[in-house]
Amino acid sequence: MGVLLFLVIVIAASIPLAWLFRATLVRTLPHDIAIVARDMPLTAAFGLLVIGVYVFVAVLAPVLAPFPERAVVGTQFQPWDSTHWLGTDRLGRDMLSRLIYGARNTVGIAFATTTLAFVVGSLLGIWAALRGGWLDQGLSRFVDALMAIPSLIFSLLLLTIFGTTVMTLILVIAAVDATRVYRIARSVAQGVVVMDYIEAARLRGEGNWYLIRREILPNALAPLVAEFGLRFCFVFLTISSLSFLGLGIQPPTADWGSMVRDNATLITFGNVTPLLPAGAIALLTVAVNFVVDWQLYRASGLKEQG
């Protein structure tokens, strides 16, 4: 009952906060951008606000956290008090501090992984669509074979083989997710490479890199940006899932997935502390999806048609 009441309060408070944030953007941004912000739905405004708060917390984590990330500052599972606002974990580390540092670690690693997956997957997908022939068929069949393996199981297998360092985690998940990005980028690019302006550029003697950079990518950017947001959510949840299973971000580094696992025993005593990192994961996922939905709506041109 207490959790339900808390959710109702959060939802009720999010509406005026989103309206105030949108109004602030309209007043402070340049005119051209302010017009876009004025037509922004409240859900997208709320999503941007949440993303901004997460970025702010991640960047200023050492300043905002009351205690160091790995410091043992109390006894095991201390209750909430004026010193430890969210209590302590099973080793006596401050939960609020680790929750704040978790924003930097979990979100930062997820963003780096998604960026790498998108650079590799989108370039290969566009290149395959542009070249066609045996290159397109070979890359596509290889990607199909990799996508036939469930991504979480494939990630677990690779991490078991190559280890669980942060760099290995980024490379493994980026490699797995690049296959999904490849399919999207290739599909979008195939609709662009048949256009007359591509043929005209080829007749002028332009190379493949020019065609990708100046002709194809600008026309495929809108769906790819939307896919970046969705893919970030999947990567973010994958990293949290792997950490929960013990093969993600390794202790003593603060991570929301491992924080849920390490403190799950508190739930049996009616303590909601383990739900806080889970709630942080869910909130960011919902916020990113709100912004992605808005971008897809704008890219579809439905507003202009209405």
Quote the pLDDT of residue 305. 43
Other Cβ atoms less than 10 A from the Cβ of 1: the count is 5
Query: What confidence tens digit (pLDDT) does each residue in 1-21 have?
Result: 445 666 667 677 788 888 898
User: Rounded to two decimals, what is the model's pTM?
Assistant: 0.83
Give the model's pLDDT for residue 174. Answer: 92
pLDDT at 301 over 80: no
pLDDT tens figures, 156-212: 888 888 888 889 989 999 999 999 999 999 998 888 888 888 888 888 887 778 888
pLDDT tens digits along 213-231 = 888 888 888 788 888 888 8
Phi-psi region of 87 (alpha: psi -120 to 50; beta: other; left: phi over 0): left
Degrees to nearest 5, angle at CA 4 with 242 and 105: 30
- Ordered by where they begin, the domains of the chain are 98-305 (1.10.3720.10)
Q: Give dist(CA 169, CA 110) in Å, integer.
A: 10
Pairwise CA distance, residues 34 & 67, whole Å:
39
Distance (Å, rounded) from C-alpha 254 to C-alpha 249? 8
Q: Which residue has the tokens 């399919």?
A: 183
Q: What is the DSSP string of 31-98?
A: HHHHHHHHT--HHHHHHHHHHHHHHHHHHTHHHH-SS-TT-B-SSTTPPP-SSSTT-B-TTSBBHHHH
pLDDT at site 5: 63
